[in-house]
Amino acid sequence: METTWTHQTVLLNEAVQALSINPDGHYVDATFGRGGHSRAILQRLSPQGRLTVFDKDPQAIEVARQLAAQDARVSVRHSGFAAMAELPPACADGILMDLGVSSPQIDDPARGFSFRHDGPLDMRMDTTRGQSVAQWLETVPISTLAEVIRDYGEERFAAPIAKAIDRRRQERGPVRTTGELAEIVAGAVKTREPGKDPATRTFQALRIFINAELEELQQALEASLALLKPQGRLVVISFHSLEDRPVKQFMARHSRAVVDRRAPFAEPAPTRLAEVHRVMPSEAEVQGNPRARSAVMRVATRTGVA
């Protein structure tokens, strides 16, 4: 019997409220997932409203296409959210980015995202293209592997982990499954915070790297400025500091008037974002959905300046 993997959307009502929905407007769900946010947006749109959704994951896109077949207001793009740049300028009344990995991706062992379930070591958001983590680990130099684990996982034992992975592939061949990788990491990590699996940071690092998540996030943030209409809302939900930091810095940079030091008496360059604020999940949501505990939502409004 086929297993149905479910997903509980984080900050559902808060995110949709932050978009300040215009019933006749056009909205972009840049990370469709299983469509929790999209369905809530559609409930607030009139027959004239429009919703464009993006996702890399073929399984998510299948769900999105089923929704589009039932609702003509929905347009589906099988692409990462950096492809928002292909949309017409100033076409969106609001953009939502939920940067979390969906529960079906984590819970399905075949996707290879989790050390809690043994399965193929894949971790690609889009399984139709690119290298899997297992394929990449076959040939990556130790120095590069250690750098990825350190920079994308903030892992202080990155060098010993990289050496242990290399020793394993030299002695016994490539690492093929999540269970094998988790075992190698556990043997190389000497101490860890109470309650946290030794493999947590390494798995995060490899997932972020193999999907170019941070690079694509920067591209998507820049694209959002061109897409948003004046007074349009940008809403971003992140789940760890490596995601939240560039979002925070981006919003802060574009919400400050910039003075050209070469022309100190000239008018400062106008801001392009305003009303930046942060929203955290409630205690009740965290209790009901532990995966919400690290979520941070940041909201900004596009000014009328190009």
| Residue 79 belongs to domain with CATH number | 3.40.50.150
Domain count for the chain, please give it: 2
Q: Chain-centre distance of CA 192, in angstroms?
A: 25
Please give the average per-residue pLDDT across 154-174, as a whole number: 96
Residue 53 identity = V
Q: Is 115 annotated as a binding residue?
A: no
Q: Which two tokens stand for residue 206?
A: 């490899």
- Final residue belonging to a domain, choices 210, 230, 252: 210
CB 223 within 8 A of CB 236: no
Q: Is 117 annotated as a binding residue?
A: no
Q: Is 36 annotated as a binding residue?
A: yes
Q: Is 78 annotated as a binding residue?
A: no
pLDDT number for residue 103: 66
Task: Give 245-284 as a DSSP string.
Answer: HHHHHHHHHHTSPBP-TTSTTSPPBPPSEEEEEEE---HH
- Final residue belonging to a domain, choices 184, 210, 236: 210
Q: Is residue 110 part of a domain?
A: no
User: pLDDT-based confidence at 2, cuts 50/70/90?
Assistant: very low
Task: Provide the CATH number for the domain around residue 161.
Answer: 1.10.150.170
Strands 26-29 and 92-98 turn out to be: parallel
CB 54 within 8 A of CB 96: no
Pairwise pLDDT comparison (158 vs 127), residue with the higher score: 158
User: pLDDT-based confidence at 256, cuts 50/70/90?
Assistant: confident
Please give the average per-residue pLDDT across 79-98, as a whole number: 96
Residues 160 and 224 in one domain: no
Q: Is 173 annotated as a binding residue?
A: no
Residues 163 and 245 in one domain: no
Q: Is 55 annotated as a binding residue?
A: yes
Q: Which domain holds residue 289?
A: 12-104+213-302
Instruction: Write out pLDDT tens, residues 182-230.
Output: 999 999 998 777 778 899 999 999 999 999 999 999 999 999 999 999 9
Pairwise pLDDT comparison (251 vs 256), residue with the higher score: 251
Q: Is residue 7 part of a domain?
A: no
Q: Which two tokens stand for residue 136?
A: 């990449």
Three-class SS state of 2 = coil
Distances (CA, A) of 81 to 31, 52, 58, 86, 221: 7, 11, 14, 10, 9
Please give the average per-residue pLDDT across 277-289, as a whole number: 92
User: With pLDDT > 70 as the criterion, what percentage of the chain qualifies?
Assistant: 92
Residue 90 has pLDDT above 80, yes or no: yes
CB 52 within 8 A of CB 29: yes
Residues 224 and 193 in one domain: no
Q: Is residue 111 part of a domain?
A: no
Instruction: Write out pLDDT tens, residues 5-37.
Output: 456 788 999 999 999 999 999 999 999 998 999
Residue 260 has pLDDT above 80, yes or no: no
User: pLDDT-based confidence at 258, cuts 50/70/90?
Assistant: low
Whole-prediction pTM value? 0.90
pLDDT number for residue 148: 98
Question: What are 301's strand-pairing partners?
Answer: 233, 274
Q: Is 119 annotated as a binding residue?
A: no
